[in-house]
Structure 1
Amino acid sequence: MRIVQASKVANQPWKFVQENTVLNNPLVLVFANRFLLEQDEVIADIRAQFPYEHLVFGSTSGEIIQNQVHDGSIVVTAIEFEKSSFEIVTENILNFDKKAKPLGEALYNKIPKANLKHLFVISEGSMVNGSSLIDGLEKELTNSVSITGGMCGDDARFLKTLASYKENPKEGEVVLIGFYGETLEISFASFGGWIPFGPERKITRSKSNILFEIDDQPALDLYKNYLGDKASELPQASLLYPLNVTPEGKSEPVVRTILNIHDDNNSMLLAGDVPVNSRVQLMMASVDGIAAGAQRAAEIAMEQRNSPPQLALLVSCIGRKLVMNQRVEEEIEQVQEIIGKQTAITGFYSYGEMAPFHGQTACELHNQTMTLTLISE
């Protein structure tokens, strides 16, 4: 595997991490601020600097390269696989009446299956229900194939996100990357570091990822009571106080971020499904707790590896970034300390992270986690 990485802030020259050598048919991951991806001259600059076929774009809530976190920038990672291969397919949620499950099914049907080892998802983040997308992807999936990835971001604006493959970035796009090859070693993990607090309650009315009632009370009213003065800062304030949701019949909870609120019917739109009869609690976090969570994620991802990772794809949540503020790079540094400085690191801050729970194969949508995908060949 040969890797070339570079970053660029608007109107500044490109900064390369490795020597800028010509690669053979690489996978090129471009993570950037949404405003930059909307500018034709920026896209032309990226294409001129990386004149390759397989460019994948995704908008972010912060860009990760090596042990640094950037804002308002472009980070590019070009990966030449020497012993393995990749395939990329896309679909657009606007062609599926905004229904994510049939979109996921269509994506999985399009991807070649022979020798498929792993799937990595870069999804539109403001219209797609991540839980439903995973359900669609996994409908016909075999246990030998794992899924990780993330939902694109738009800083803390939650207005729109962009993604694409080959084409210029656009709204509604979901990109699926398949990795193939016997020599590939791919490991992954997801961990939060947030702490539940307050009484545990029950979700009594919901529909998919829309939460209406908790303990037969309007969910938004109850949530505003908890937030107190911070309620006037919704929905951004909810990134600091997500929900810990344990679906009925499951032992592992998932964290759910509130993407938007609707005062007209006292409901909340969440990043993933919140089934009726799920147990729910509020959560909070400290900077040290989040950094420790990132370290734990890296430890889990490294546990069963036979060889050091050459590439680390990091997807961390916008809520973690807001809590850590000026100390946000500490969680990336914790990861790098565990996986090793020889590993090329890239990724983005997201509206949702995708990975199985530790020791399981079925993928889950997470919020407020650090999710790693470690790759070597």
Structure 2
Amino acid sequence: MKARSIKANSVKQLQQVLAGVISNDFSPTMVVLFLSVQQDRQAVVDLFNQYKIDVFGATTSGEFIDGETGNGSIVALLLEINSEFYKLKFLETGEKSTKENAVEIGRLGKELFANPAFIIVSGWLTQDGEAIVEGITNGAGGEVVIFGGMAGDDLKLEGPLVFNNTQKSDKGLLAFILDADKIEINGIATCGWKAIGTNKTITKSEDNVVYTIDDKPALDTIMKYLGVEINFDQAKEIVTQIGAYYPLQMERENVAPVMRTAMFANLQDRSLICAGNVPQGSRVKFSLPPDFDAIEIVVEECKALKKNKQPEADALIMFSCISRNLSFGILISEEIDQVKEVWDAPMVGFFSYGEFGKSHTGKHEFHNNTCCLVALKEKVG
């Protein structure tokens, strides 16, 4: 499988880059396409349609190839891959629930391939992260590889999109289903965040809304515990000032904790609306803002993946939480660059509103504030 990663700041520039990349020696059949909502999405898709390239796309809250990050741009991973080795499937939450659609995707994968693997992007379906993983797993008839991310919209928090060659939706679920007997696929969900303080209990919650922590209003508890005073004049301030720097770590026995980021605050009932479900009774800890140690942990876990499972890669796809970008600042480019250098393969990625993947000790599940890295390699013979 041949791969090329490209970046452009406009449709015109993308057209020029594509003309220079596509040749007799490189004829991509599909593209992993991530772009800002500021870009003319339809014009970009039309361009790939001219080349008859299958589109697996999502809008973003920041984009990158290799170690080069940006905002408001277009990034793409062009893949020359046998069309018999993959299938794209787009479904929209509406007449059927997100979970029912996820089950259908899992079933399709199993019908197509004896050993399917799934790379997914989803729209504004934050409450359905766990349902997506559970649905695909149930539909496929057991544990399968699932990695991906929830689309972003430059932190407008209005309606991120997923799209293919002909469809788009802010409630869409798009799957890149691979034949894992032909394409080796491995990945890691890792965050590097350090917990602080003692365990606390989610004493009242419903789905992704946390009302009380240790029987006290959730918003007041986190602000008091962390010693922060914030005037929430805008919805995004909860993300940039609490969600990015002080995510919750949900503790589980014998597996790595799963992260949950606060996306909104309800000033009337003092609850937190998180980017993922937080079951009542969960034991949680707060997190320290990241430093170089967090990057080292992420890179070391990627190196372990390379050593133990995936020594080589033709291409890399990364889904990194927007909260990581906000909290790491200029360090985020360092993390992306170091992860890319582990395999030294073409990489594309974006900053997302939630991530799908598997930690080194857990199962495939929905994450926040996490870096999910996927490595692809065509098998020989």
- Cα distance, 1:349 vs structure 2: 1.1
TM-score (norm 1): 0.88
Matched, 1:347 2:349: yes
Q: 2:304 aligns with which of 290, 300, 305?
A: 300
1:145-188 deviation per Cα after TM superposition (whole angstroms, max 9, x unaligned): 31111111122332220101222533111101110152422111
CA separation of 1:125/1:240 partners in 2, compared to 1, >3 Å: closer, same or farther? farther
Matched, 1:5 2:10: no
Give the Cα–Cα distance (whole angstroms) in 1 for the partners of residues 159 and 83 of structure 2: 37
Give the Cα–Cα distance (whole angstroms) in 1 for the partners of residues 66 and 134 of structure 2: 32
Cross-structure match for 2:155: 156
2:73 counterpart letter in structure 1 = S
Cross-structure match for 2:36: 33
Matched, 1:182 2:185: no
Deviates more, 1:171-180 or 1:120-129: 120-129
CA separation of 1:278/1:320 partners in 2, compared to 1, >3 Å: closer, same or farther? same
Give the Cα–Cα distance (whole angstroms) in 2 for the partners of residues 119 and 168 of structure 1: 19
Cross-structure match for 2:372: 371
Give the alignment of 1:1-377 within 5 angstroms.
Answer: 1-10=1-10, 13-14=13-14, 16=17, 19-21=21-23, 26-37=29-40, 39-48=41-50, 51-82=51-82, 85-96=85-96, 99-111=97-109, 112-125=111-124, 127-143=126-142, 145-225=144-224, 226=226, 228-230=228-230, 232=232, 233-237=237-241, 238-247=243-252, 251-305=255-309, 307-340=311-344, 343-360=345-362, 362-377=363-378
Give the Cα–Cα distance (whole angstroms) in 2 for the partners of residues 275 and 287 of structure 1: 29
- Cα distance, 1:142 vs structure 2: 4.3
Cα pair 1:32 1:60 within 8 Å, conserved: yes
Give the Cα–Cα distance (whole angstroms) in 1 for the partners of residues 367 and 6 of structure 2: 29
Give the Cα–Cα distance (whole angstroms) in 2 for the partners of residues 83 and 312 of structure 1: 19
1:351 counterpart letter in structure 2 = Y
Deviates more, 1:115-124 or 1:231-240: 231-240
SS of the residue corresponding to residue 230 of structure 1 reads coil
Cα pair 1:301 1:374 within 8 Å, conserved: no
2:317 counterpart letter in structure 1 = L
CA separation of 1:137/1:367 partners in 2, compared to 1, >3 Å: closer, same or farther? same
Structure 2 unaligned segments of length 5 or more: list them.
none
1:269-294 deviation per Cα after TM superposition (whole angstroms, max 9, x unaligned): 21112111111111122341332233
SS of the residue corresponding to residue 13 of structure 2 reads coil
SS of the residue corresponding to residue 13 of structure 1 reads helix
Give the Cα–Cα distance (whole angstroms) in 1 for the partners of residues 52 and 372 of structure 2: 28
CA separation of 1:109/1:305 partners in 2, compared to 1, >3 Å: closer, same or farther? closer
Deviates more, 1:210-219 or 1:263-272: 263-272
Give the Cα–Cα distance (whole angstroms) in 2 for the partners of residues 146 and 83 of structure 1: 20
- Cα distance, 1:126 vs structure 2: 5.1
Cα pair 2:11 2:44 within 8 Å, conserved: no
- Cα distance, 1:35 vs structure 2: 2.3
Q: Alpha carbon RMSD of aligned pairs, Å?
A: 2.5
Give the Cα–Cα distance (whole angstroms) in 2 for the partners of residues 89 and 154 of structure 1: 22
SS of the residue corresponding to residue 256 of structure 2 reads coil
1:245-271 deviation per Cα after TM superposition (whole angstroms, max 9, x unaligned): 125x66431010112222233222211
Give the Cα–Cα distance (whole angstroms) in 1 for the partners of residues 310 and 55 of structure 2: 30
SS of the residue corresponding to residue 168 of structure 2 reads coil
CA separation of 1:141/1:42 partners in 2, compared to 1, >3 Å: closer, same or farther? closer
CA separation of 1:333/1:251 partners in 2, compared to 1, >3 Å: closer, same or farther? closer
CA separation of 1:125/1:193 partners in 2, compared to 1, >3 Å: closer, same or farther? farther
CA separation of 1:114/1:82 partners in 2, compared to 1, >3 Å: closer, same or farther? closer
CA separation of 1:91/1:199 partners in 2, compared to 1, >3 Å: closer, same or farther? same
CA separation of 1:158/1:266 partners in 2, compared to 1, >3 Å: closer, same or farther? same
1:67 counterpart letter in structure 2 = G
1:66-108 deviation per Cα after TM superposition (whole angstroms, max 9, x unaligned): 2211211001222112496101112112344xx5323322322
Give the Cα–Cα distance (whole angstroms) in 2 for the partners of residues 199 and 307 of structure 1: 39
Give the Cα–Cα distance (whole angstroms) in 2 for the partners of residues 305 and 46 of structure 1: 33
Give the Cα–Cα distance (whole angstroms) in 1 for the partners of residues 213 and 240 of structure 2: 21
CA separation of 1:321/1:71 partners in 2, compared to 1, >3 Å: closer, same or farther? same
Structure 1 unaligned segments of length 5 or more: list them.
none
1:291-332 deviation per Cα after TM superposition (whole angstroms, max 9, x unaligned): 223312321321223641111111111111112223321011
2:368 counterpart letter in structure 1 = N
Cα pair 1:83 1:183 within 8 Å, conserved: no
% identical equivalent positions = 23
Cα pair 1:63 1:349 within 8 Å, conserved: yes
Give the Cα–Cα distance (whole angstroms) in 1 for the partners of residues 231 and 258 of structure 2: 23
Aligned positions, number: 368
CA separation of 1:24/1:308 partners in 2, compared to 1, >3 Å: closer, same or farther? same
Give the Cα–Cα distance (whole angstroms) in 1 for the partners of residues 177 and 356 of structure 2: 15
